[in-house]
Structure 1
Amino acid sequence: MSKADWNMKTFMKGASILTISAIIVKLLAAVYRIPFQNLVGDKGFFIYQQVYPFIGIFIIWTSYGFAVAVSKLLAGSASSGEAKAIKRVAFLYLAGLSITFFVILMAFAPFFAQSMGDPELVSLLRAGAYIVLVMPMLAILKGSFQSEGQMTPVAVSNVGEQVLRVAIILIGTWVAVRAGASLYTAGEVAMWGAVIGQALGVVILAMFYRNAHKGPRIQVDTWRIVKELTFVSLSVSASSLILLLFQMADSFMIYNSLLAKGFVADAAMEMKGVYDRGQPLVQMGILIASTLALATVPLIAHHAAKKDGRGAEPFIQLTFRTAVLFGWAAAIGLAFVLPYVNEMLFETRDGSAALIIFAFQIFWLSLILPLTAILQGAGKVKIPTLLLLGGLVVKIIANQLFVPFYDVTGAALAGNIGFAAIAFGLLLYFKSVWPMKLAPFRFYGWLLLATLAMAAVIFPWMLAADQVLFDNLSSRIGATLTALTAVMLGAGVFLFVVMKSRIMAEKEWYLLPFGKRLARIQLILTKNRR
């Protein structure tokens, strides 16, 4: 596809394909952890989650950050020869980075494991290290397709690598557990699942690839390409990386703090494993925010370029209100039903108090992801990236203050403080860039009313369901039925109040992914008021 053919319609179609594939990938990334925890228990989950941030950072940085950076450079190339030269420089730079990080992870695995308090994590770190060797080819191929507007190969690769990864993790872990292998062996199998999944992504992209950049390679500014690759890749993936960096801070701090407090190793591992149950819950909770960030930014960028009318302002306001609405509903709704959801998914209600606090991270992340994406779309990347790093510092300091006194509950509180600092910083900066009113006062009033209505309905229902309706069933089945019915009831009441209030207009629902059905329901509910 030539650049001339890549018009807005093609771009939006490509963005839609990528959005759908991203939803599938993020859903799989969150959901597989639940059966995995059920297979290996809280201690096995602790082992996996201690090491996962190391490989997760490379997955995000490669498959998203570097791919976007390569795409941007190739899209701005003046000729096929220049594009060919850019690819060569990018590949050599990424290969150098890849080998460097691989050597560091292999050589310093004992140091990292010891720093996390568990020397037996070395084998997992070394298995996961192989994922960085896939980084150069994956980034170059994805970037090449994205620069030409060919999103289907990227989408197929994203979904294919994630499906294989999840399959290897779950099947391999099941086989390892059945064979009586150690939990560390099961964790190592999970690491290899991620490596093989990424390798499949390269194979899929290579099958689609046809090198269109023929002709002689011309001279390019190598240093400029290296600088742009580094800066763009880190800035565009920063908002996705921050969740993993928060997890990495917890990996180094929580377990060591619990040991220092006097917990025996197994008890500390299980406590941290229970705390890690919050990760898949948050990932599922921020799915709407992630989708918004992917789906609305091209729309905002398109309208921001227009000289007539209000430009991107209505779309920015819509994105903010939707992020607040669904982020708050997901966070507070999950907090209300968490003890039952905890038992439904993870077999016990252990750590529910800490996980209730953990759940509120959904709200802050639901603001952070779209705001960062909009600012990046407008070319504002430096300040948001610094704010994200500042939030990580706040998280680390808060961990040091709260974990020694409140254990994992303190870590959950520290996470909220760190993310809240980022969210407020982004809002203040956002206002300095676009001094607009993001939502009217009545929006927040109706949001509060919808929350109170949801609480008034589901708390009595959960009490009755738990103690009367499902009392004669097994504990986990009863918790499952209570959780599912409470979620449906709460979501129904919340949306009913929101739709009756019309704080979201029907035409606005239509602009959102999968919003047509909600718009039709709102039309039916409010027809007498029109």
Structure 2
Amino acid sequence: MSSVDWNMKTFMKGASILTVSAIIVKLLGAVYRIPFQNLVGDKGFYIYQQVYPFIGIFIVWTSYGFAVAVSKLLAGSTSRGEAKAMMRVAFIYLVGLSVSFFIILLTFAPFFARSMGDPELVALLRAGAYIVLLMPTLAVLKGSFQSEGRMVPVAVSGVGEQAFRVTVILIGTWVAMRAGASLYTAGEVAMWGAVVGEAAGVVILALYFRNSFKGPLEKVDTWQVVKELTIVSLSVSASSLILLLFQLTDSFTVYKILLTNGFVGDAAMEMKGVYDRGQPLVQMGILIASTLALAIVPLIAHHAAKKEGRGVLPFIRLTFRTAFLFGWGAAAGLALVLPYVNEMLFQTSDGSVALIIFSFQIFWLSLILPLTAILQGAGKVKIPTLLLIGGLVVKIVANLVLVPLWDVTGAAIAGNIGFVVITVGLIFYFKKVWPIWLAPIRFYGWVMAATVLMFTIVVPWMWVAEQILFDNMSSRIAATLIALTSVVMGGAVFLLVIMKSRIMVEKEWYLLPFGKRLATLQLRLTNRR
């Protein structure tokens, strides 16, 4: 086996470790919000979700974007002395950025809180600000490990960080609520939980770290290092940041507009809290797409560099079809059962219409994440980043127009419009870079046929279950049983049609993370053993 093969094998193994850890991190990040909402109710959930995007943006930008940028810089260095100098510049630059943002958040917390329409959010903003101070160490250590291909410390740190965060948030909130603390105090405890989690991540990485960059510092172009760090970190994290930026837009607009629409404080807070239930649902729905995005970048980058063979196009087509298939299946399936899922997870079925509309963001994001990842893997970052910014501007304008008309339903529609603009723009740009058919017409026909059959079978089942089978049970237990049976039934029908149609062939399933079982199942269903 050549050294190149060994390196690629090691690289792909590292990417697989990171992918698995990312799935765990994202799952924990979505799931903890459900017991948290159950503890604090819709008003408490509103309080947390108003402030979370502020710290979420810093977490993604630094721990993901800057870590990748540092890794890329170090991997391209020609000597240990140069790598050491680059690490030093990166750390000093990040310290400067984090201290600046920390001071801005502490100083302007009252201004941000008033701008959101709720002055009582100041303490939460100030608590969350401390997370920013941990970012330089976290980003530089992660980037250092990734540049050496040492993915285990990065994976362990990510999972440990999230596990600590979720544990502190849930236990801290439970204690605060039992002690009779206010919902704002519970929210502040949750913010400190995020800080503790991030600190745990830094400690785990520090325990793994052995400084291999010994020797004298070499001279590097400081401005060039800073410029590359900024551009790379923003471009690679842009698609991950977009959902948080949409949430931040909602934080600054939805509650204030509800107040001007005539809702009193508590009613407006609860309505915004109900609308925020959509966030964990969307995060769970885009899990496959975000996993694909993580897994596809090294594949695309590797095959784009190869001159011989089929190159990158089969991987691009496969990624698009998988993202479309699972993104549409998750969005349509969730919309179908949402009133029951809503009550099962969040105690009531309030706001189900807005949440059904909100859930279709899963589909658009399922296309946006892998498409931007593919373009990023091919070195195309400028246009996708501009398209993401354009979609954000559309979301802001749409919120200002639609929320006064239709309250939180208007905000859900505005989110979809923003994501549609990004998706359409990405596909048009994509076609310019690779003028290819991403999927045949037959593919879309079978996906729609699977959706229609899923609706045809699940809708009558839900009616029979609600009106006859579970009629005597408590509302939430009945909703739970209907939701779970409908999800299993709908998912089975959808997958059965897809597999019988063979619009994804067995060898394609094998290329996907955890696709071996699906390939085996399809072989059995189509009698091709």
| TM, length-normalised to structure 2 | 0.99
5 Å matches for 1:300-315?
300-315=300-315
Question: How far apart, in 1, do the equivalents of 2:143 and 2:397 lie?
Answer: 37
Question: How far apart, in 2, do the equivalents of 1:502 and 1:218 lie?
Answer: 57
Aligned to 1:320: 320
Question: How far apart, in 1, do the equivalents of 2:414 and 2:231 lie?
Answer: 28
Deviation at 1:296, TM superposition (A): 2.0
Question: How far apart, in 2, do the equivalents of 1:5 and 1:18 lie?
Answer: 20
CA contact (8 A) 2:176 2:185 kept: yes
What do residues 394-438 of structure 1 show as CA deviations (whole Å, max 9, x unaligned)? Answer: 000110110001000000000000001000100010110011110
Partner SS state of residue 527, structure 1: coil
5 Å matches for 1:15-30?
15-30=15-30
What do residues 184-221 of structure 1 show as CA deviations (whole Å, max 9, x unaligned)? Answer: 00000000011111111111001000111111101100
Q: Does 1:514 align with 2:514?
A: yes
Question: How far apart, in 1, do the equivalents of 2:129 and 2:51 lie?
Answer: 10
5 Å matches for 1:241-260?
241-260=241-260
Deviation at 1:309, TM superposition (A): 2.2
Aligned to 2:370: 370
Q: Does 1:484 align with 2:484?
A: yes
Aligned to 2:414: 414
Partner SS state of residue 138, structure 2: helix
Aligned to 1:133: 133
Deviation at 1:268, TM superposition (A): 0.2
Question: How far apart, in 1, do the equivalents of 2:42 and 2:416 lie?
Answer: 23
Question: How far apart, in 1, do the equivalents of 2:310 and 2:424 lie?
Answer: 26
CA contact (8 A) 1:45 1:273 kept: yes
Deviation at 1:307, TM superposition (A): 1.1
CA contact (8 A) 2:128 2:195 kept: yes
Two-structure CA RMSD over aligned residues (Å): 1.0
CA contact (8 A) 1:343 1:479 kept: yes
Aligned to 2:354: 354
Q: Does 1:458 align with 2:437?
A: no
Aligned partner letter, 1:128: G
Deviation at 1:527, TM superposition (A): 1.3
CA contact (8 A) 1:451 1:494 kept: yes
Aligned partner letter, 1:443: F
What do residues 208-264 of structure 1 show as CA deviations (whole Å, max 9, x unaligned)? Answer: 001111111011000000000110000000000000000000000000000011110
Deviation at 1:297, TM superposition (A): 2.1
Aligned to 1:37: 37
Question: How far apart, in 1, do the equivalents of 2:296 and 2:462 lie?
Answer: 37
Deviation at 1:300, TM superposition (A): 2.1
Gaps of 5+ in 1: none
Question: How far apart, in 1, do the equivalents of 2:527 and 2:279 lie?
Answer: 41
5 Å matches for 1:64-463?
64-463=64-463
CA contact (8 A) 1:257 1:404 kept: yes
CA contact (8 A) 2:297 2:376 kept: no
Deviation at 1:94, TM superposition (A): 0.4
Gaps of 5+ in 2: none
Aligned partner letter, 1:75: A
1:455/1:4 Cα in 2 relative to 1: closer, same or farther (>3 Å)? closer
Question: How far apart, in 2, do the equivalents of 1:301 and 1:481 lie?
Answer: 45
Deviation at 1:521, TM superposition (A): 0.9
1:6/1:200 Cα in 2 relative to 1: closer, same or farther (>3 Å)? farther
Aligned partner letter, 1:526: T
Partner SS state of residue 216, structure 2: coil
Aligned partner letter, 1:316: I
CA contact (8 A) 2:334 2:359 kept: yes
CA contact (8 A) 1:402 1:410 kept: yes
Deviation at 1:310, TM superposition (A): 1.8
Question: How far apart, in 2, do the equivalents of 1:23 and 1:210 lie?
Answer: 27
Aligned partner letter, 2:41: G
Deviation at 1:6, TM superposition (A): 7.0
Aligned to 1:60: 60
Aligned partner letter, 1:228: E
Question: How far apart, in 1, do the equivalents of 2:346 and 2:183 lie?
Answer: 17
CA contact (8 A) 1:169 1:189 kept: yes
Partner SS state of residue 308, structure 1: coil
Partner SS state of residue 7, structure 1: helix
CA contact (8 A) 1:6 1:149 kept: no
CA contact (8 A) 1:358 1:413 kept: yes
Deviation at 1:5, TM superposition (A): 9.8
Partner SS state of residue 143, structure 2: helix
CA contact (8 A) 1:354 1:409 kept: yes
Question: How far apart, in 1, do the equivalents of 2:501 and 2:323 lie?
Answer: 18
Question: How far apart, in 2, do the equivalents of 1:5 and 1:435 lie?
Answer: 31
Question: How far apart, in 1, do the equivalents of 2:426 and 2:49 lie?
Answer: 29
Deviation at 1:4, TM superposition (A): 8.2
Question: How far apart, in 1, do the equivalents of 2:6 and 2:519 lie?
Answer: 31
1:241/1:261 Cα in 2 relative to 1: closer, same or farther (>3 Å)? same
Aligned partner letter, 1:251: S
Question: How far apart, in 1, do the equivalents of 2:344 and 2:123 lie?
Answer: 32
Question: How far apart, in 1, do the equivalents of 2:384 and 2:269 lie?
Answer: 35
Aligned partner letter, 1:252: F
Question: How far apart, in 1, do the equivalents of 2:515 and 2:315 lie?
Answer: 15
Deviation at 1:472, TM superposition (A): 1.2
Equivalenced residue count is: 527
Question: How far apart, in 1, do the equivalents of 2:56 and 2:467 lie?
Answer: 42
CA contact (8 A) 1:57 1:244 kept: yes
CA contact (8 A) 2:320 2:370 kept: yes
Question: How far apart, in 2, do the equivalents of 1:485 and 1:261 lie?
Answer: 39
CA contact (8 A) 1:258 1:407 kept: yes
Aligned partner letter, 2:173: T
CA contact (8 A) 1:6 1:148 kept: no
Question: How far apart, in 1, do the equivalents of 2:449 and 2:297 lie?
Answer: 30
CA contact (8 A) 2:161 2:201 kept: yes
